[in-house]
Structure 1
């Protein structure tokens, strides 16, 4: 009976591991991309059970162990870059005399507020405590806008798109913004925000803030819409060689194939690589967390700080990232690289949603 139960559990773990290998975009397939850490822990426990409770002199048992080891290795391959065991992708910022000039830095706080959450004071307190240069909210409606507008004295430059459908967005900035556009690139009720950020030292940063809808039984049946929005923005930023930031709740985990393809196409870097996962969802369940909120940037930046902030009543934690702009920095940092067929796959996903790179806000600094 023990052998049968462990064999069944081994088969289940193998199915969970193999299922997302296929490129099927259905929500019930892509959902297996998310809990790779949890699967890794379960497979590790399975291996312990196999070694303790089964007869290690049996070839069948060693076959089960080999299956479990293969599954564990595959799961770890995806998540290992988001551990300190992996080389960092973004270097630490260089400091002159131990200090960094404030005007060479930009700090961005992103927070999915959860529309029904009414603890606006919790988020406002976090903003006042950490004093980001820019904060971005997702799922913010008119009520949240009224609560956040009290900060406009310190954050006079804004972009506002309050919605009641869980896809409202707001940007509040200390730094001036220009050429700001709110766009609905793929879905008519899912906005994205695009703007130029002007730092006090005279640098200009291209910024794209996104919150595509996820593949789920209550949202989109497939990941097509999400993937198309991510990839059309990726192709847009790949055509620039200026400081660029893409941030938001991407409704995708850092280690998924789709996010990896986004990084390949865009050429942007992930400051979490080699440092940690910074799991921002789900704030209420420690055993079911993964990184849904992201900030990617071009090679022009080095990292000063990245931090997951305490909860404020939402199902997401806020993410705070502080970067130092080194405009003359060369792209010498480690990153994923394009492979044969990646461009064609990305273009096919974009074409599925009838969106074009030219649809994404342009700041007249393309190559």
Structure 2
């Protein structure tokens, strides 16, 4: 009975690993990108059980253990960069009050959640320069508008379909545009954040729809939205850029990894931790869905997951310091020609072009 259970668990893990490598866009395939951490924990337990309980009197016992080990290593390859065991992709900033800093908070509010005051209290406590709130409708807009005295600049797109979005900023927002890049009811927001007279930062705020039985049957729309934004930043390596939002994809998925390669943006979580933001109420089913990516112009002052406020997501806060003269020391992932061709084909198949993405320039203030 014990041996049969171990065989079944190992076989299941091998099947899941094959599905993860299949890259088919169906939700029931792409969904396996999410629980790599949980699968790895199960595989550790299975491996320990095999080493203790199997008599190793047959070659099959060694084969079974080897398969379990291969499955475990394969899962760890994806998630280890998001642990303290990995070197930083983005350097820790040496705090310097003379250098510009930007604090950005992302919060998926969960539309039916009515605990707005708890989120407002977090904003007052942590004082981000920019708040991007997701899943916001008109009820949430009416409550977030209490921030307008301290956050006079805003972008608003209230919706009742779980894809509303609001941005509130202390700093001026210029060249503001709201676009529906892939789906007619899923907005994205784009602007230049005016930090000072010399520094403007190109900002993209995203919340694509995920692959799931209740949302989209495939990951195609989500993947294309991420990749078209990545493609739009590809040739702007000299511009300071920040992308933020709930991408409905985990940090370690093939799509997010490809986004990093194409965009040339950096992931500040690499070497620092996973910062799992969903699901706030289920500790055993959590993964990083809320993201910040940025150009090599920044170093990390802090990144922190904040307390829950009634949503199914934790809010997350990042503070970045602009490092004009030290940007060449930070390099991210690089796309190869096959990956570039794959992205071009995927965008063309959906009729989406990088030119569809607004590209606010970081020009100095006139």
TM-score, reference length from structure 2: 0.97
Contact 2:190 / 2:360 at 8 angstroms: preserved in 1?
A: no
- Alignment match, 2:67: 67
Give the whole-Å Cα distance in 1 for the aligned partners of 2:91 and 2:360.
Answer: 28
SS of 1:95 mapped into structure 2: coil
The Cα of 1:364 is off from its aligned counterpart by 4.7
> What runs of 5+ residues in structure 1 fail to find an aligned partner?
none
Contact 2:202 / 2:361 at 8 angstroms: preserved in 1?
A: no
SS of 1:159 mapped into structure 2: strand
- The one of 134, 149, 153 equivalent to 1:153 is 149
Cα distance per residue 1:126-149 (max 9 Å; x no partner): 000000000000000000000000
Contact 1:224 / 1:352 at 8 angstroms: preserved in 2?
A: no
Give the whole-Å Cα distance in 2 for the aligned partners of 1:45 and 1:338.
Answer: 35
- The one of 343, 351, 355 equivalent to 1:354 is 351
- Alignment match, 2:106: 110
**Residues 305-344 of structure 1: matches in 2 within 5 Å?**
305-344=302-341
The Cα of 1:335 is off from its aligned counterpart by 1.8
Cα distance per residue 1:123-174 (max 9 Å; x no partner): 0010000000000000000000000000100000000000000000000000
Give the whole-Å Cα distance in 2 for the aligned partners of 1:318 and 1:365.
Answer: 27
- Alignment match, 2:168: 172
Give the whole-Å Cα distance in 1 for the aligned partners of 2:70 and 2:249.
Answer: 25
- Alignment match, 1:234: 230
**Residues 136-151 of structure 1: matches in 2 within 5 Å?**
136-151=132-147
The Cα of 1:352 is off from its aligned counterpart by 2.5
Does residue 76 of structure 1 match 2:76?
yes
> What runs of 5+ residues in structure 2 fail to find an aligned partner?
none
- Alignment match, 1:185: 181
Give the whole-Å Cα distance in 2 for the aligned partners of 1:312 and 1:363.
Answer: 33
Cα distance per residue 1:67-124 (max 9 Å; x no partner): 000000000000010001111000011234xxx34x6100000000000000001100
Give the whole-Å Cα distance in 2 for the aligned partners of 1:340 and 1:197.
Answer: 33
Over aligned residue pairs, what C-alpha RMSD do you find? 1.3
SS of 1:307 mapped into structure 2: strand
The Cα of 1:201 is off from its aligned counterpart by 5.3
Q: 1:197 to 1:352 in 2, by over 3 A?
A: same
After superposing the two structures, state which structure 1 stretch, 335-344 or 266-275, moved more: 335-344
The Cα of 1:345 is off from its aligned counterpart by 1.1
After superposing the two structures, state which structure 1 stretch, 3-12 or 146-155, moved more: 3-12
TM-score, reference length from structure 1: 0.96
Contact 1:243 / 1:327 at 8 angstroms: preserved in 2?
A: no
After superposing the two structures, state which structure 1 stretch, 206-215 or 323-332, moved more: 323-332
The Cα of 1:329 is off from its aligned counterpart by 2.9
Give the whole-Å Cα distance in 2 for the aligned partners of 1:334 and 1:261.
Answer: 15
- Alignment match, 1:3: 3
Contact 1:104 / 1:201 at 8 angstroms: preserved in 2?
A: no
Give the whole-Å Cα distance in 2 for the aligned partners of 1:259 and 1:322.
Answer: 21
SS of 2:329 mapped into structure 1: coil
Alignment: residue pair count? 362
